[in-house]
C-alpha cells in the first residue's frame, strides 16, 4: 500500500470560527480528517499527518516556512511515496513555486492543496481537494510539485491564484493542466515532467532581498531610485503586455543600469496572465533590454520571485542569475 505524508501548514481548510474571523487552531485538524469517511475507506492510500508549528494563515508564510516544508519532505523522502501539503490559498502558488526549485530531481509527487471554505463548514471544498490530492500523491506518473484545486491538477510553478471566492481558485494560464479530475482522474501524459535520473537534492533558501514593481500609467520611476539600489539582489518588474514600460525609458534606464552594476538582476514579467514577454518587440521595451534586464518570458510573478530566491541562495553571481532566469529549470517557463 502506498504511503503518503500529509503536511498541514494552516490555511482556510483547517480553520475554525473565532471572534476575529477564521483562524487555524492547534489540535483540531486530526479530528476533522477523522470525520471524513472516504479518508478511511478501502482503496485510500495509507496516510499520516504532520502538523506544523505554528499553523499559519498563508499570508504569513516566509522563506523560513518554505525551508521547513522542503526539509520535512527531504527527510521523509525514503519513507513515503508522495506528499500532500495543506496550505492557505493566498500564497499557495508562491510556496509551490519555491518547493519546485528547492527540490531538485524530485521523483515523487508533492501536491499542494487547501480550500476556500473550511472543513468545519457544510459546503467545504476541502474534502474533495484532500481526497483527490492523496490519490494523486500516490500516483507514480507524477514526479513534480503540483497544485490540486477544484478538479484541476496544475504544475505548481505555473499556477496563480485567480479567484478570491470561487471554488476553482487557481489557473495555469501558460501551461495545460496536468490532470483533470472528473469521474476519473485523467492525466495529460504529455504535460507531465519526466522522472529525473539523479537523487533528490535539497536547496534551502536564504531571505534574499527581492522586490516586485508593477508599472502603471504615469509612474514616476525616479521615486523608485531609492529602493532600486544594490541592497536589492533581484527585482521583478510587472510590465504592460509583452514587456512594455511607459515613456521612452529615459527615466528608468539609468536607474536599472546603476542597480545592475551594483549587482541587482531585473526580471521582466507581464501584467497579462497569458502570453510571454518579448523584450525589444516594441520601442517601449527596448530600454529594458539595453539596460541589462532579463526576460521572464511567460513565467508567473510567483515563480519569478521564487526562482530569484533560489538562484541567489545557490550562490550564483549576477551574470549566472541572468542566464538562469531565461532558462527553463523546472518547467516554469516556455523557452
Task: Please indicate whether residue 320 is annotated as part of the active site.
Answer: no
User: Rounded distance, CA 226 to CA 224, Å?
Assistant: 5
Task: Using alpha carbons, list the distances in angstroms from residue 193 to 25, 49, 232.
Answer: 36, 27, 33
Cell of 40: 478511511
| Residue (115 or 285) nearer to ligand ASP, CB | 115
Minimum CB–partner distance for residue 60 and ligand ASP (Å): 8
Q: How many residues bind ligand ASP (CB under 6 A)?
A: 10
Q: Within positions 217 to 276, which residues make up the interface with ligand ASP, using CB under 6 A?
A: none
Task: Using alpha carbons, list the distances in angstroms from residue 94 to 20, 59, 82, 255.
Answer: 26, 11, 20, 28
Q: Which of 9, 12, 91, 300 is catalytic?
A: 12
Contacts of residue 205, Cβ cutoff 8 Å, sequence gap at least 6? 63, 66, 67, 98, 102, 309, 310, 313
| Residue (166 or 275) nearer to ligand ASP, CB | 166
- What DSSP line would sit under 238-298, residue for residue? EEBTTTB-STTSTTHHHHHHHHHHTT-EEEEEESSSSS---TTSSHHHHHHHHTT-EE-TT
Interface pattern 2-41 for ligand ASP (x via CB under 6 A) = ---------xx-----------------------------
Minimum CB–partner distance for residue 301 and ligand ASP (Å): 17
| Residue (65 or 332) nearer to ligand ASP, CB | 65
Examine residue 152 and tell whether it contacts ligand ASP (CB under 6 A).
no
Residue nearest to ligand ASP (CB): 88
Q: Residue count of the chain, please give it.
A: 335
Minimum CB–partner distance for residue 114 and ligand ASP (Å): 5
Stretch that binds ligand ASP, among 36-44, 53-61, 176-184, 232-240 (CB under 6 A): 53-61
| Preceding peptide of 54 cis, ω within 30° | yes
Contacts of residue 285, Cβ cutoff 8 Å, sequence gap at least 6? 239, 242, 243, 244, 245, 268, 277, 278, 279
Minimum CB–partner distance for residue 2 and ligand ASP (Å): 27
| Residue (170 or 240) nearer to ligand ASP, CB | 170
Stretch that binds ligand ASP, among 87-95, 97-105, 178-186, 308-316 (CB under 6 A): 87-95
Stretch that binds ligand ASP, among 84-92, 200-208, 250-258, 310-318 (CB under 6 A): 84-92
Do 97 and 61 form a contact (C-beta atoms < 8 A)? Answer: no
Examine residue 121 and tell whether it contacts ligand ASP (CB under 6 A).
no
User: Rounded distance, CA 221 to CA 239, Å?
Assistant: 13
Examine residue 59 and tell whether it contacts ligand ASP (CB under 6 A).
yes
Q: Within positions 101 to 120, which residues make up the interface with ligand ASP, using CB under 6 A?
A: 114, 116
Do 118 and 125 form a contact (C-beta atoms < 8 A)? Answer: no
User: Rounded distance, CA 51 to CA 41, Å?
Assistant: 22
Examine residue 57 and tell whether it contacts ligand ASP (CB under 6 A).
yes
Binding site for ligand ASP (CB under 6 A): 11-12, 57-59, 88-90, 114, 116
Catalytic residues: 12
Amino acid at each position: 500500500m502506498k504511503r503518503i505524508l500529509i503536511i498541514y501548514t494552516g490555511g482556510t481548510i483547517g480553520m475554525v470560527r473565532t471572534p476575529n474571523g477564521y483562524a487555524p487552531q492547534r489540535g483540531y485538524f486530526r479530528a476533522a480528517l477523522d470525520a471524513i469517511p472516504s479518508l478511511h475507506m478501502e482503496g485510500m492510500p495509507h496516510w499520516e499527518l504532520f502538523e506544523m508549528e505554528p499553523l499559519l494563515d498563508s499570508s504569513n508564510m516566509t522563506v523560513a516556512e518554505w525551508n521547513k516544508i522542503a526539509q520535512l519532505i527531504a527527510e521523509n523522502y525514503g519513507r513515503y511515496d508522495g506528499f500532500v501539503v495543506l496550505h492557505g490559498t493566498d500564497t499557495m502558488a508562491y510556496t509551490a513555486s519555491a518547493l519546485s526549485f528547492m527540490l531538485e530531481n524530485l521523483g515523487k509527487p508533492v501536491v499542494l492543496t487547501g480550500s476556500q471554505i473550511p472543513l468545519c463548514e457544510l459546503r467545504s471544498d476541502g474534502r474533495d481537494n484532500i481526497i483527490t490530492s492523496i490519490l494523486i500523491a500516490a500516483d507514480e506518473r507524477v514526479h513534480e510539485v503540483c497544485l490540486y484545486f477544484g478538479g484541476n491538477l496544475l504544475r505548481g510553478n505555473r499556477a496563480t491564484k485567480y479567484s478570491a471566492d470561487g471554488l476553482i481558485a487557481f489557473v495555469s494560464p501558460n501551461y495545460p493542466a496536468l490532470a483533470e479530475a472528473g469521474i476519473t482522474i485523467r492525466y495529460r501524459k504529455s504535460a507531465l515532467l519526466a522522472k529525473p535520473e539523479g537523487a533528490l537534492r535539497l536547496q534551502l533558501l536564504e531571505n534574499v532581498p527581492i522586490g516586485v514593481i508593477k508599472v502603471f500609467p504615469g509612474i514616476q520611476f525616479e521615486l523608485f531610485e531609492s529602493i532600486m539600489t544594490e541592497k536589492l539582489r533581484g527585482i521583478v518588474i510587472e510590465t504592460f503586455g509583452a514587456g512594455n514600460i511607459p515613456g521612452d525609458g529615459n527615466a528608468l534606464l539609468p536607474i536599472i543600469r546603476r542597480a545592475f552594476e551594483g549587482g541587482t538582476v531585473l526580471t521582466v514579467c507581464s501584467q497579462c496572465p497569458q502570453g510571454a514577454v518579448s523584450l525589444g518587440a516594441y520601442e517601449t521595451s527596448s530600454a529594458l533590454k539595453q539596460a541589462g534586464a532579463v526576460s521572464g518570458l511567460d513565467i508567473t510573478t510567483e515563480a519569478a520571485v521564487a526562482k530569484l530566491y533560489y538562484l541567489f541562495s545557490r550562490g550564483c553571481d549576477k551574470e549566472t542569475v541572468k542566464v538562469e532566469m531565461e532558462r527553463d529549470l523546472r518547467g516554469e517557463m516556455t523557452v
